[in-house]
Each structure stands twice: as structure tokens, then as C-alpha cells.
Structure 1
Amino acid sequence: MAIETLPDLIDAAKARRVVLKVGSSLLVDRVGQARREWLDTLAGEIAAMARGGQQVIVVSSGAIAMGGALLDPTLNPRRNLAAAQASASVGQIALAGLWSGKLAAQGLTAGQMLLTLDDLEDRRRYLNASATFAHLLEAGVIPVVNENDSVATEEIRFGDNDRLAARVAQAAGADAVVLLSDVDGLYDRAPGEEGARLVEIVNGIDAEILAMAQGTSGSGLGSGGMVSKLQAAQIAERAGIALAIINGTHDAPLSRAVEQSRGTIFLPQRSDKARKAWLGGRLAPSGTLRVDAGCEAALKAGASLLAAGMVGVSGAFRRGDLVTVVSLKGAKLAQGLCEYSSADCMAIAGKREEQQEAALGYAPRPTVIHRDHMVVL
């Protein structure tokens, strides 16, 4: 049974496994103190879901904000990388203790998982994370996930927990993701503007939907915004996972959203097999291949990428690295594992098979990216 409405999110028959993302501005106030009474109501809702037969994973922000308040509440904990990492180190213990205590009061056991981008970009580590989620959930544990900000740098971090939540949902085989926000959902313009309309159902993200997003976090505490939420929804919809955005500022936010049918739900668009879902969700390509219009049409029809269709190469990558494929106008078309290094791609770009051996100095491979190792976006 498919998820089609907000009430479906608390129906174990339709959403047995749910990822719940909680942002910093909801969990922590402006001086870095946990909003304990609010969290009591949310923990109660998680317990109700568990009693109803659902398995819940929590993706929680808040470590940097909580740690910064403990180290020095007069300073911005994100003022530089070292300060953010130190604040996260202190805050991760406080955050884990907070969740553990609130869930224990509901008769639930929490388990902490700290992840970096590399943990979900590397196939072997992704599978390890997937196995850990499966074991914890079958044991009745509520995994509490956060990005490992104490070691993550700009090059190896998600940067927001919205996309992390979508990737966790993939790894865990979840049916749905719920992003708790400081607004009711996606509006067709800035929520404060006169006449702004809440978009209740999105059946596929297109250019019109993307244009509605606002790129900043209103609270100033978090690192995401509506843009990151739509990026998370794109990851989810390709993997057959529903994603909802609801207002988390109220007590018992799940119950409120369901009872009032207030929020935005993004419906799944396809259900890629496990490996392709992983490829489609990866966030750190090493380079870009630009292709001509004929190649673009062939890719959309399910073909592999051939050298003759390439018109440009950027980035430095090795054989087997993830690359993005873009159109002549720069629109993202696909991403996949490249059969050649960037230097070899430059050597054979635009050349037919019979010309490639002379350019490479060895017999060419049949494809630049095989369709089995590529996902059309």
C-alpha cells in the first residue's frame, strides 16, 4: 500500500519504517538550551508509533548549538571550523544523553550513530551502516543519527541534516521521511508574503517546484532551508520513499499535522533497485561530463554513455569515480561510475570507437559509463 496522505505516515501498514528529522531550531533555543518539554511531547509520539508497530529512526541536529552553549555561550559556535568541531564534540554527548533520557522515559532504548558523508558515499561503508540500522530496528532500538561534525570538514560533510535524513532512509530501507521544520511545509512563495499558498501534495519535483524554495534557514541556528529539503525530497522520490515537511514548532507536532492534514508530502516517483538508489543519492561527484543533445536523448532512453557524445570534461577523477553528466546547457542529466580517468575522457571526447585506440594507446572500453552503473536524474 502506497503512502499518499499525511495520516499514512503513522499507519504501520503503509509506513512501517520512518525517518524523523529534527532540526536545531526546534530542539534547542537561541541560547543553546534544550527545549525539554517540547521534546517530551515528541518522544511520546515516537513511543506511540512504536506501540503501533512502526520502527522509527531519528536524525537529530543540535550538537553544535548545545556544545557551543556549554563551552562559551557568548560566542558563535560556528564562527570557524575548529570552534564548530569542538562544540560538536562536547554537544554530541549532551545530545545523546538528552535523547536517551527522553526515550527511556517512554520505555524505549536509544542508540547513537554518528555518520560522515564518506560513510554513505563509500559502498562498503554504506552497506555496513545499512546492516547496523537493520539490527538496531529489529531489536526495538530507536537509532539517533547525527552528522559527525567533530571530524567532518567542508569537503566531507553533508552540510545539512535534511539530505542526511534522505540518505539514512535509503540505507535503512525506510518507507518515509518526515522533516520537522519551522513552517507548515512548502509554499508557492515566501510564507510571509500575502497570498502565499501551502502546497499540500507534490507529485514529482520539477523546475516550478524548485523555484518556490527559499535558500536560508529562518532561525539562524540550523544549516538547512527549503532548498535542502527539496534536495532531500529528490533523493527520496527516486528511491521510492515518501517525504513530508511539517511544522515542528508546536507540541506533539506529528499529531497536529496529521489531525489538521497540514503539511507537504512528496510522493515517490520511482523505486530504483538498491545499487542504483545508492548511486542516485550520492552527493560528492569527482567530476563532470558534458554531452551533446543526441547523447542526452539516448541517456534518457536508457542507453549507456559513449565517448562520441561527450563534448567536455571537468574535474580530476580516476576510473571508478562518481561523475555527473550534464547537458549542453548545464542541466544535470545523470550520474554514475566512470570507466575512464578524466585525462582519458578528455583524450576520447567526441571520438568514435575506431578513433579511440589511437588517442588512448590501448583498446578502448565499450562505454564511458555503462547504464548498469548510472542513474538518470
Structure 2
Amino acid sequence: MNRKENIKKVKRLVIKLGTSTLTYDNGLLNYSRIEQLVRNIADISNRGIEVTLVSSGAIAAGFGKMGFTEKPKNLPDKQASAAIGQVALLHIYQKLFLEYNKTIGQILLNSEDMSNRKRFLNAKNTFLSLFQHKIIPIINENDAVVVEEIKVGDNDSLSAMVSSLIEADLLIILSDIDGLYTDNPRKNINAKLIEVVPEINDKVLALANGEGTNLGTGGMDTKLKAGKIVNSYGADMIIANGSSENVLIDIMNGKNIGTIFLGRDKKISNKKNWISYTSSGEIIIDTGASIAIKNRKSLLASGIKDVRSEFDKGDSVKIIDECNNIVGYGIINYSSYEVNIIKGHNSNQIERLIGHSDYEEVIHANNLVII
């Protein structure tokens, strides 16, 4: 793998800045580091690369202004801190980016914006319009009002979802660690940095050790899960230390900094990537249906044995065989309530059972992703 050649191909980039990169240990913003990162991002944008910034730091910036000495633990204080901190953070970004003749736009997302296909496409169109007008989107979760049911939870996962949404070529996650090590470097001085990870498998996932800082929400495990998402559709991910001077410029110049996680050789379509990573329910199918799906056939009601969890028509669902193996994912044509009624029956009985028959297939072959 030639890292410099991989970097040269990058046309669309997502950069995730962790809380520990943007703040001091006391929770207050590190203005000098933010200014340097903004200068780096502006320079990368001037190269013709479409850059999206996923920024943590809102709660940390806010709780410092509220007089707390550490990240609040109860939800109202967290949300109040986010409300204050988001304003402060965006004001700083706007002021600094304007110095480099760059315009920014803010987008607040949650998991429903990704799981709902219509909202997903609307969000994507917003990004494309911003790119067309040379505007740098700055993304965060709406921490001031979001509830647990629709919360992404950490900005590592959010950055991966955004990368998937806009079909980025590279995700860079900057944190307070140099990359992935053979062991936890904070506990083992003999731990070695791994420069290249061809595939995030169980062995690699086992290397994730420990939590994030007292300011952040994500440790190495959340970063590796983010890597699995972006790698699966064909993009690379790099984890590097955000405190290193000009780290973003060095990365984009092809220097061996941090750990690079390589994407699959062939990119899958944005639609199929969405289907794979936004599943909201599960259905169990019989052996015959499993064979049919693997042969690129549609899933019919007759092949469904059971339904797990609730979902609506148009949701993406996980398809599981009788041995509890994941067969694939697909966009469902009926709700979980309706599937429970029509399961095991022939397609010509659907209208009699539920009063309508919009589709012969429960999941059409064109809306399937096969594992």
C-alpha cells in the first residue's frame, strides 16, 4: 500500500476533531490549536478537496462557561452546556475561517436523519449544495435537545455516518492518541504503533482498550467501529494525534502519520451502504428463502418465519437465517405488524390478510444487500 498514492485520490474528505484536541484539560477551548487546524483545513480546501468538519467540543466549551470543573453527568446540565458551547464554538470557527476567506455552514444531525431514507437524501442534497458553493459544512449532533432514542452518541460514529452519507474518500479522526497500538500505550510502554490496518477484524477490535478522556465520549472502540463503517463502502480512515503541529497538512501530503485503515477495493453504492448501516428491525427467514436471496432473488412472505422488533414500511431491516446468521439487509415493503400477519403465506393471500397488496415481494431484489 502506497499511502501517498491513496491520499492523492482523495476528492472528498471528512475531518473529525475530538474534544481533547479542541480543549485544554480544564474544559476551556484551546484557541491556538483551533486556529492552526482551521488554517490547515482552509489550505486543504484550497487544493480543490471538498472538506466536511465534524466537531466535538460543544459540551466541553459550555460547561467551562457554566462554571463546572468537569463534564456534567445529568442530562439537563449536559444539554445546557451544549446550548452555550455550540454558540461559542461556531462563533470561533466562523471568525477564524473568514480570516482565510472561507464560509462555513452548520448542520445538526441525529440518527433519524440517517435511518429515514427521505431525510437521508435531503441531508445529502444539502451537503452537495454546500460543496457546489465552496462552503465548508460543520457538523455536530443536536446535543441541546436530542433524546436517547435518536441519539448517535459519539462523534466518531457521527463522522462515519457523515462519511457514508456524502460518500467521502477519507475520514481523518484527530484525538489525543497517535493511532492504534498493539496495546494500550498509557499502560504498556512497550506498545507499538500500527501504521497500516488492511481490515478491521475481531483481532483488531480486541486491541481497543480503555475509554476516552473525561471530556470526550469515545475511546478507541468507537473509532474502530467508525472505521468498519467507512471501510465497508470503500473509503480509508486515519487516526492521528490532533496536538501535532500541522498534522492535517502532513497527512494530506502523504506522510506516514497515525494509523491508516484501508477501505475495501470496490466501493458499494450509497444506497446499499445506507441499507447496510441503518437497519431498524430484524426478520427471520427459512432455508429456502436464504438460498433464494443468495441467488439475488426477492424475499417473499412465504419464506419469513418470524419478526424481531418493530419497523415501518420503507425501513432497512436485517435478514437472519434459522441458524442466526446474517444473510443480508433490505428495504422492507411492509410494516412489522403487517409482516407478522403475512409471514409464511403466499403472495396472492396478502390482500386478504391485511386488506391491501402494494407489493408481491416483502423485499425486492433491487433493495437487497447480500452478506
The TM-score normalised by the length of structure 2 is 0.86
- The letter of the residue matching 2:362 is V
- The letter of the residue matching 1:106 is Y
Instruction: Tell me which residue corresponds to 1:133.
Output: 127
Distance 1:290 1:212 in 2: 33
Q: Deviations over 1:285-326 (max 9, x none)?
A: 432113355544544443333444434321122333332223
- The letter of the residue matching 1:218 is G
Select which of 313, 318, 324 maps to 1:324: 318
1:290 aligns with 2:287: no
1:304–1:204 distance in 2 versus 1, CA, 3 Å: farther
Distance 1:124 1:355 in 2: 30
Instruction: Tell me which residue corresponds to 2:346.
Output: 353
Structure 1: tracts of 5 or more residues without a match: none
Is contact 1:323-1:337 (8 Å) kept?
yes
1:32–1:356 distance in 2 versus 1, CA, 3 Å: same
Select which of 331, 335, 346 maps to 2:329: 335
Instruction: Tell me which residue corresponds to 1:98.
Output: 92
Q: Secondary structure at the match of 2:255?
A: helix
Distance 1:146 1:369 in 2: 33
Q: Deviations over 1:219-266 (max 9, x none)?
A: 122222222222222322333322222222322222455434432222
Is contact 1:190-1:196 (8 Å) kept?
yes
Q: CA shift at 1:24, angstroms?
A: 1.0
Q: CA shift at 1:87, angstroms?
A: 1.2
1:300–1:206 distance in 2 versus 1, CA, 3 Å: farther
- Aligned-residue RMSD, C-alpha: 2.9
Is contact 1:136-1:143 (8 Å) kept?
yes
Instruction: Tell me which residue corresponds to 1:121.
Output: 115
Is contact 2:284-2:321 (8 Å) kept?
yes
Select which of 166, 171, 174 maps to 1:177: 171
Distance 1:58 1:106 in 2: 16
Instruction: Tell me which residue corresponds to 2:18.
Output: 23
Q: CA shift at 1:209, angstroms?
A: 3.0
Q: CA shift at 1:25, angstroms?
A: 1.4
Q: Secondary structure at the match of 1:259?
A: coil
Q: CA shift at 1:204, angstroms?
A: 3.7
1:8–1:100 distance in 2 versus 1, CA, 3 Å: farther
Q: Deviations over 1:176-217 (max 9, x none)?
A: 111112222233443444654444333343333333333x53
1:321–1:219 distance in 2 versus 1, CA, 3 Å: same
Q: Secondary structure at the match of 1:286?
A: strand
Is contact 2:160-2:226 (8 Å) kept?
yes
Instruction: Tell me which residue corresponds to 2:4.
Output: 7
1:189–1:367 distance in 2 versus 1, CA, 3 Å: farther
Q: Secondary structure at the match of 1:39?
A: helix
- The letter of the residue matching 2:64 is A
1:201 aligns with 2:196: yes
The TM-score normalised by the length of structure 1 is 0.85
Q: Secondary structure at the match of 1:93?
A: helix
Distance 1:170 1:276 in 2: 10
1:46 aligns with 2:41: yes
Q: Secondary structure at the match of 2:52?
A: strand
Distance 1:132 1:92 in 2: 21
Matched residues, number: 367
